[in-house]
Structure 1
Amino acid sequence: MAERSRGRPYELLETLEPGIARVLAHNPSAFTYYGTQTYLVGEQEVAIVDPGPDLSDHVEALIRAIGGRRVVAIMCTHTHRDHSPASRALANLTGAPIIGCAPLALESVGPRADAAFDGEYTPDRVLQDGESVEVDGRSIVAVATPGHTSNHLCFAVGGALLTGDHVMGWSTTVVVPPDGEMAAYMASLDKLRQREDRVFYPAHGPPVTNPQQYVRGLMGHRMQREKQILRLVGEKARDIPDIVAKAYPGLDPRLETAAGGSVLAHLLDLEKRGLVVQSEQQWTRT
C-alpha cells in the first residue's frame, strides 16, 4: 500500500462544503482504499461520523480538528473495525455520546478478508430509520441501509448523504454472509435510488456527485453478476472457488476471499428464489 499512501492528506482536516469536513485515517488497504474518512458535521458544534480505527494519530488529529467545539454525537454507520473503534477513545476525550447503528459482532462463513466486527462497540443510543440528531440547528437523519451489514445506516444532512460502506466512491461494496445479504443490499440501493440527495460522501473513496446515476450503475453491475453466476452454474455444477475463477479473471489474490463471499451472497439469494440448488458445496441451476 506504499504507493497508494504516498502524498495523501492523512490526519488533516479538509472542508468539503460548509458544515461538512473530513479527516483521512492512515489505514489504507485493498478494502479501505486510501483509508477511512471520518466526517465532521457542523461548524459551531460538531458530530463525528464514522470515527474510524483506534489509531492514536487519527484520534489526535480528530481532537485537533474539533478544536474545542462541543461534540454533540459520535455516530457510526456500522461496526466493522475500520469504522467504529475510535468512538470509545473520542467519547472518553470529549464526553460525547456514541449514537448510530446497533451493536453487532458476527463471524463470517470461513475467513474474512475485509474488516472484522468491532465486538466492543456499545452505543448510548441506537437510531432507527428516520430518527435524527440535531447539530448547529440542522438534522442528521438516519437512513437504514442493511446489506453490507444488517446494522448499516447512512446519514443524511442538508442534501448530502454520508454513505459509510453501503456506497463507496472507488469500488463495489463487499457483501459477505451470514450477516451481509444480497437481497437487503439491493433493496437498500433501490431505496437510495429513489432519494434526491445531491452528493454522497462515502467512508472510502471520493465524493459521488451523480448519486442516482451511480446507484443505478451499482445495481446494474450486481444484476450482471447474478446473470453471470446463473450462466456458469447452468453449464455444470460448480463450487464457489470455480465460480470466482471464471467470474473474476485476473483478480488480485487479496480479494479472492471477498469475491467468494459476494458469490455466496448471490447464490444464497438465488437459492431463496428457487433458481439454484446446492449439494455438497456444488451449485447448479434448477
Structure 2
Amino acid sequence: MTATPHPPETLEPGVVRVTANNPSPFTKDGTQTYLVGEADVAVIDPGPADDTSHLSAILTAIDGRSVRAILCTHTHRDHSPLARALAAATGAPVVGCAPLALDDAGVRADAAFDRDYAPDRVLADGEAIEGADWSLTAVATPGHTSNHLCFAWRARGILFSGDHVMAWSTSIVSPPDGDMGDYMASLEKLLGRDDRVYYPGHGDAVTSPQRLVRGMMGHRRAREGAILRLVRGGEGDVTAMVQAMYAGLDPRLHPAAARSVLAHLFDLRRRALVTGEEGGVWRSAA
C-alpha cells in the first residue's frame, strides 16, 4: 500500500503522533502510531503491513534517534504488522502484547488478526520498559482482544489506550477472542487509575478519561439491559436485535454490532441469565 502520509503531530513534549492512511468506519482517520520520548524513543502500534508511506513517515519522525522498543497494544492487523519492517529498519526489539494462537473460522467484522506477530519480549501486567527520559508500564486490559495492553507513562499522567478506550467510538468486542465480561472488568480497572489523558489507537485524545470510562460502562449496561428485554420478550435472533437496537447505524457497521450483541449474550449466558448458542435462538433463563 502506498498513500500520501499524514504529517507527524507533536501532541505534547515527548509525544508525537503519526497517523496511517487507512481510514475506514472501523479506524476513523487511520491507525495512530505514537513516538514516546525525546532522547531515544519507543514506537507504539506501528500500523498495517506494507504501508511504505507510513513506515517512511515514522522513520522521518524518529529522525535518526535510537529506538529502544516497538510496542504493540494488540494484534489486529491495523496495529502490529508494520512492526516487522520497522524492526528491520531500526534494529529495535518488538515488545508488548502476547501473540494469539487463535483458530476462528467465524465471521469477524473488525480488522483480522496479525497471525505472524512474534514479539521479542512479552510484557506482563505492571511490567515496565524504560528509555532515557521515559518509562512505559503495561496495563493489561483484555476484552477488545484477549491480549490487549495499554501503556502508561505514569510520571506524565498519560495512558496509551489502544483500542480499549476511544472517544469517537466504543470498541468492538467480537467473540470468541473478544470477551464482554473481561472488557467491563478492564474498564473498571481504568476507573481506579488517575491518568490525565488517554491517547487512543484511533481518534482524538481523551481529555476527561474518568468521565468517558464511566459513560462507556453505562452505555454497555444499557445495551445489556436492552438485550435482556428483547430476549425476555421473545426475540432470540441476533440480527433482529441489531435492527431493533441500532436504528440509524451505518449498515456497514451492522456486522460489528452483531458481534458485540453476541458478546453480551455470551456474558449473560455465563451469568445464567440467558441460554443459547451462536447462530441459534437465544432464550431467557429466568
TM-score normalised by the chain length of structure 1? 0.95
**C-alpha displacement at 1:105, in angstroms?**
5.0
Q: Distance in 2 between matches of 1:148 and 1:108?
A: 15
Bigger drift between 21-30 and 246-255 goes to: 246-255
User: Which residue identity does 1:18 align to in structure 2?
Assistant: P
User: Secondary structure at the residue paired with 2:255?
Assistant: helix
> 1:20 corresponds to which residue?
15
After superposition, give the CA deviation of every residue in 1:17-55 in whole Å (9 maximum; x if it has no partner).
Answer: 111111010000010000001000000100000101120
**C-alpha displacement at 1:107, in angstroms?**
5.2
TM-score normalised by the chain length of structure 2? 0.95
After superposition, give the CA deviation of every residue in 1:133-183 in whole Å (9 maximum; x if it has no partner).
Answer: 102232100000000000000000121000000011210000000000000
Q: Percent identity?
A: 61
2:75 corresponds to 1:76: no
User: Secondary structure at the residue paired with 2:124?
Assistant: coil
Q: Distance in 1 between matches of 2:244 and 2:20?
A: 35
Q: Distance in 2 between matches of 1:261 and 1:108?
A: 14
User: Which residue identity does 1:285 align to in structure 2?
Assistant: S
Q: Which runs of 4+ in 1 moved over 2 A?
A: 105-110
Q: Distance in 2 between matches of 1:195 and 1:42?
A: 22
**C-alpha displacement at 1:11, in angstroms?**
2.8
User: Secondary structure at the residue paired with 2:214?
Assistant: helix
Q: Which of 262, 270, 273 is equivalent to 1:272?
A: 270
Q: Distance in 1 between matches of 2:192 and 2:62?
A: 34
**C-alpha displacement at 1:108, in angstroms?**
4.7
Contact in 1 for aligned 2:38/2:133 (Cα 8 Å): no
Q: Distance in 1 between matches of 2:22 and 2:148?
A: 21
User: Where do 1:125-274 residues align within 5 Å?
Assistant: 125-157=121-153, 158-274=156-272
User: Which residue identity does 2:168 align to in structure 1?
Assistant: W
2:90 corresponds to 1:94: yes
Contact in 1 for aligned 2:36/2:134 (Cα 8 Å): no
Structure 2: tracts of 5 or more residues without a match: none
Q: How many residues align?
A: 279
User: Secondary structure at the residue paired with 1:156?
Assistant: strand
Q: Distance in 1 between matches of 2:158 and 2:140?
A: 15
User: Which residue identity does 1:242 align to in structure 2?
Assistant: A
> 1:52 corresponds to which residue?
47
Contact in 2 for aligned 1:175/1:262 (Cα 8 Å): yes
User: Which residue identity does 2:85 align to in structure 1?
Assistant: A
Q: Distance in 2 between matches of 1:200 and 1:241?
A: 33
> 1:29 corresponds to which residue?
24
- Distance change in 2, residues 1:31/1:151 (3 Å): same
Q: Distance in 1 between matches of 2:263 and 2:27?
A: 21
Q: Distance in 2 between matches of 1:137 and 1:250?
A: 47
Structure 1: tracts of 5 or more residues without a match: none
**C-alpha displacement at 1:208, in angstroms?**
0.4
User: Which residue identity does 1:126 align to in structure 2?
Assistant: V
- Distance change in 2, residues 1:261/1:107 (3 Å): farther
Alignment RMSD: 1.5
User: Which residue identity does 1:37 align to in structure 2?
Assistant: Q
Q: Distance in 1 between matches of 2:231 and 2:168?
A: 29
